[in-house]
Amino acid sequence: MGRVWLHVAGESHGPGLTAILYGLPAGIPWESDRTDHWLRLRQRFSGRGPRAGFESEPTQVLAGIKGKVTNGGPLQLYLPNRDSSGGSQTPEGEAQPIRYPRPGHADLAGALKWGLSQADGVAELASARLTAAYTAAGGVCRQLLSLLGIEILAHVVRVGEAGTRRRAFLRGTRLLPLVERAEASRLLCLDARAEPRMLAQIASAKETRDTVGGEFEVVVGPLPAGLGAPQPLEARLDSRLGQVLMGIPAVKAVAIGDGMLAGRARGSRFHDAIRFAAGKGYTRPTNRAGGLEGGMTNGEPLVVRGVLKPLPSLGTPLASASLEDGSAGPAARVRSDVCAVPTAALAAGALVSVVLAGAILEQTGGSTLSEVLGRFHGNDR
């Protein structure tokens, strides 16, 4: 992730989650209100299960902040779990061992890996609860980017069969008003016409005790050209973004710009022509490349998308087989969310911020915020 590293540890129903961010310069203001704002936002999205409502503990700082600013050392955050019961529960709230693994979950693969006859411990590790820690820690990087004049929009573009119109509303617009608009929505959605259709997708999945997936988009700008590098693999911004976004539970596909459509297109229709104007520099009339070429930013806004599968905890479970004796039976019924696309979108925005903060700091160096600001803007203030 460039010069910034994020490590997270914790179990879904353990005492809490820890996030450690290494590599931040000293002097970034710690604004707990902003971090907690994103955590509160995750709670009120439609499609969340009962647990989202009560996981409301504020983030605690254990290290890395002195006098309300980062001190240059590792930043250690702690998010206590209100549900620290130690294991999964049925939708009715009863504690239960997972003996019949859920298709699509880590239950079976983890039980085989560790030789278990119950998958509870696996479910604790494979939980999307960890995205709360990504969101909190990434929020600090998001704030660093904002101090550099860079804004991040994370929004939902599809829930099941209901999609937004393709990006018409993003052209030539500043991101901040869009961020506010998306955050006012119950689904982190910018398209007021698509939102009711998305809500209907969630309602009908809930009614049939099913789940529904979808797609999110993260847009970042303005960005300077030249962040990242074509080589080695680890320096490419596309490979770094793919790594973190594919790491969000349930994400099954990641695309840069119009990458999902690229396989069908001719080169002459896909690539973005180059223009030059005095005073403006190089510009592109379209941004199908999503702001990345050769693993580097090209000066256009960065656009990345992620697709989530429907969550695997089903009210009407699929067929499964016992971890104890292989006997047939329905998969375990486990309390969960009906749709987690907005929550994943917010975590994606946070993780993209970590990657970009790392790439920028790699470029600027600097131990303090004022050094970074001076070098980023081309003067050593």
- Quick one: which segment of 125-133, 152-160, 195-203, 299-307 binds ligand EPS (CB under 6 A)? 125-133
DSSP state of 89: B
Beta carbons within 8 Å of 156's beta carbon, 6+ residues apart: 164, 187, 188, 189, 198, 214, 215, 216, 341, 342, 345
Write down the number of H helices and E strands in the chain.
11, 17
114-120 long-range Cβ contacts below 8 angstroms, 24+ apart: 116/323, 117/323, 117/324, 118/323, 119/323, 119/332, 120/87, 120/88
Q: Which is nearer to ligand EPS, 6 or 372 (CB)?
A: 6
Q: How far is the CB of 377 from ligand EPS (least distance, A)?
A: 37
- Which one of 34, 36, 71, 83 is in contact with ligand EPS (CB under 6 A)? 83
Q: How far is the CB of 52 from ligand EPS (least distance, A)?
A: 5
| String marking each residue 126-165 x if it binds ligand EPS according to CB under 6 A | -xxx-xx---------------------------------
337 binds ligand EPS (CB under 6 A): yes
Q: How far is the CB of 105 from ligand EPS (least distance, A)?
A: 8
Write down the H helix ranges in the chain.
32-43, 50-54, 107-114, 120-125, 130-147, 175-184, 194-207, 237-246, 267-270, 341-364, 369-376
d(CA 63, CA 42): 25
Q: Six-digit token pair at 261?
A: 């459509």
- Which one of 102, 158, 236, 335 is in contact with ligand EPS (CB under 6 A)? 335
Query: By three-state DSSP, how is residue 235 classified?
Result: helix
Q: Which is nearer to ligand EPS, 164 or 320 (CB)?
A: 320
Q: How far is the CB of 135 from ligand EPS (least distance, A)?
A: 9
- Which one of 29, 49, 104, 163 is in contact with ligand EPS (CB under 6 A)? 49
Q: How far is the CB of 348 from ligand EPS (least distance, A)?
A: 14
Q: How far is the CB of 98 from ligand EPS (least distance, A)?
A: 11
Residues near ligand EPS (CB under 6 A), total? 16
Q: How far is the CB of 310 from ligand EPS (least distance, A)?
A: 13
Query: By three-state DSSP, how is residue 339 classified?
Result: coil
Radius of gyration in angstroms for the set of CA atoms belonging to the chain, rounded to a whole number: 21
8 A C-beta contact, residue 151 and residue 221? yes
52 binds ligand EPS (CB under 6 A): yes
| Residues of the shown chain interacting with ligand EPS in the complex, contacts defined by CB under 6 A | 49, 51-52, 55, 83, 88, 127-129, 131-132, 249, 335-337, 343
